[in-house]
Amino acid sequence: MVRKYTEFIIRRPVLTIAVLLIVTLVLGSGVRKVQFDASLETYVSVADPEYKLYKKVKSIYGDVDTFVILDITHENLWSHGTFREIDNLLTDLEEYQKYDAGREEARLGKLDSFLTEDGVRWGDLLKGFSGDAPFVRHLKRSLPDAAAADALISRGQLENIRDHALELRKLKEVKIIDDILSPFTSKDIVGKGDTLVTVHLIEKDAEGKRIMPETREEFQAFQKKLLRNPVFDRGIYSKDPKTGEITDLAIMVRFTAESSFETQDAISREIVKIAESYSALHILTQGQPLIYMWTVDSTRRDVVHLIPLSFLVVMLILYLNFRSFRGVILPTLTLSMSTLWVFGLMGHMGVKITAIDASLPVLLICVGSAYSIHVLNQYYEDLALIRKGDKYHGLLESMSHINVTVAIAGFTTIISFWTVLNHQLAALRWWSLFSGLGVAFAVLIAMTMIPAGLSLLSHAGHRSPREKKKKAISKDFMDYFVGWLTSASLNHPGKVLTGVVIVLLISLIGVFMVKVETEPLMFFKDNSYIRTSEKIIEEKFAGRWGFFILLDSGKPDGVKDTRYLDTLDEIRAWLESDTHKDLNIGRTDAFTDYLRTMNMAMNNDDPAAYAVPSSNSDIADYLEIYSDDDDNSDGRPDSFEPYVDKEYRTCNILTRLCQREDYLVGSSELERIFQKISDHLSETLPPPYTFEITGETKIVIKSAAYITG
């Protein structure tokens, strides 16, 4: 079969190459569709009980363990101008939280009216949206250089602006942002007569616009509101530890539990773009969604950069080995085609590239080059015989012989890669599939492209590398190295085998020392923005992500009992204590924060009253007289949703991770932290209370287990 296939190729080389090029064009077109994915779902089975628990908990409490956080500071933070800039920033972000179909339709209509002209002046374009300040700022972000000289905006630029506005409209329709916490949007609980009500820290006027402080007295009053409630500290503001002055304000963006990785990635990019446009403010962006965004960008860069670098190395090796144009070009064409076939097929199938798949280009180029080298090496070994007879029969004998060997070698490699196809991890299954397919493509194209190309070339005046070396004055390094290695193996077999055994033993010891790391932050260099900004966020706002500790009271309304609430706060105190710094927990948030604030509000804002009420009747009364929005009508005030379930049976202790010890918290360290918390709760939790721990951090640990298992 192989001989007949080789015979067909050599007899019809033009047709063969044409077919290969057509297939390359068809499959290669899929490269434009390739997408990247860094979501945890690619590293864990969606059928895993831990994953199912996490999804269930998020459906109850929301996606509150991951968020995007913006740390904002300024040399003149407490000024009307700075606050106005922050308010504009918030307004731009809120466009993705509060979708207004009529406003979006009007914007697109105005853009369409400008498209009837060949071009429009920048000033005229802005004038057309003079009553829509957020969209004006969007236009400035889209064309940052246009305002410099009242530039003429071309029709093509306008079409791009409209297309982008349409994409953002679709993103806004999804309503991916669930909540935006900040000093400007947060509410506090105050007592008014016999009722407890929520009030905005910054009030709004009749048009719904926030009323920014202007005078020194108004700023002092606003700071007093911030400092009144301890829960705001390191939540929506940060203080200088030496002076106690508020130096930083935070904007925390939480996403809806139903949002997908694609929409989170898209909105994360918009958040960063919006933040960067406010150059007058000093803004630091962080959060787990951004870590995933940066991981995608890093994976994309790796794929783009590693492909040409790998080709360069392989081409250099090919030149040093064959010292001929055909010895470099034919294998390079083979590798180029196989790489395009693999990534194009991934694009057509909608399979997204993960961090694991970043190894595919290098793997396929390096492994695939071996088959091309085998074919060409056989050609050069038989070149003298090919020149003696007619080209057709000489090539047929040579290529038929080596194609059988290449096919067998490729088959064993393909099977080796495909042994991982039954893995529970989706990312590894796809990697296994396309690694095997890549080898199959490389083998097929090497068996096809190189014989076809050689059949079109002349062999009369062409010399093999061996013939060239015979005429060379001196041997090269590879000749000396191979000669030395061969001599050592033949003359000192015992020593060679002893050395191999020693290396094998050392390697086996190293295998047991390998640690699997799946926390994306650990993939980046210490001095990268991702790592340095994360450390600052930890210092000022107690961390960038967290996890859930669910404390079940055992019965409906059980969380309204003082015994239960005291137990909950004892757990929080244990988690945050300096004695247990090795837990690396920066802060916890829970239902008791609201009860403490209510108790203080009903006791004339006495700081000493910032405590859980001492009687069940007081708790019941406070919850009865408390008034807040319930937009989804699930029976819980919106502010309670991240911390208590609908039955008031289970409370969520939202626990935020922070590097309190002198080491980074990776997946292996997370496993130790969770084990210590579980051991403590199992030993100390009184009946009938039970607990569960979940969160994205737990899924990180689970993904490491999948990789090692």
- In this prediction, residue 363 has a pLDDT band, given cuts at 50, 70 and 90, of confident
Task: Give one DSSP letter per residue of 276-331, joined into a string.
Answer: HH-TTSEEEEEEHHHHHHHHHHHHHHHHHHHHHHHHHHHHHHHHHHH-SHHHHHHH
Residue-wise DSSP of 555-595: STTGGGSHHHHHHHHHHHHHHH-GGGGGG-EEEEE-HHHHH
The reported pLDDT for the residue numbered 479 is 67
* Alpha helices (H) along 382-476: 383-388, 391-418, 426-456, 465-471
C-beta separation of 539 from 659 below 8 A: no
Tell me the average pLDDT across 683-690.
95
Q: What is the pLDDT of residue 376?
A: 87
Find the range with the poorest average confidence among 440-444, 633-637, 644-648. Answer: 633-637
- 649 vs 587: CA distance, rounded Å: 23
Tokens of 383: 């070149």
The whole-angstrom separation of Cα 226 and Cα 239 is 11
Q: What is the mean pLDDT of residues 2-8?
A: 86
Which helix (H) or strand (E) segment holds residue 653: the answer is strand 650-657
42-51, 198-207, 576-585, range with the lowest pLDDT: 42-51
**Confidence (pTM):** 0.87
The token pair that represents 56 in the structure block: 């269930």
Please determine, for residue 63, whether its predicted confidence score (pLDDT) is greater than 60: yes
pLDDT, residue 477, reads: 62
| Per-residue pLDDT reduced to its tens digit, 184-239 | 999 999 988 888 989 999 999 988 899 999 999 999 999 999 999 999 999 999 99
DSSP for residue 364: H
Q: Measure Cα distances from 233 to 103, 588, 638 in Å.
A: 36, 12, 21
272 band by pLDDT with thresholds 50, 70 and 90: very high
374 has pLDDT over 60: yes
3-state secondary structure of 614: coil
Per the model's pLDDT, the better-predicted residue between 149 and 514 turns out to be 514
> Which residue has better confidence, 320 or 127?
127
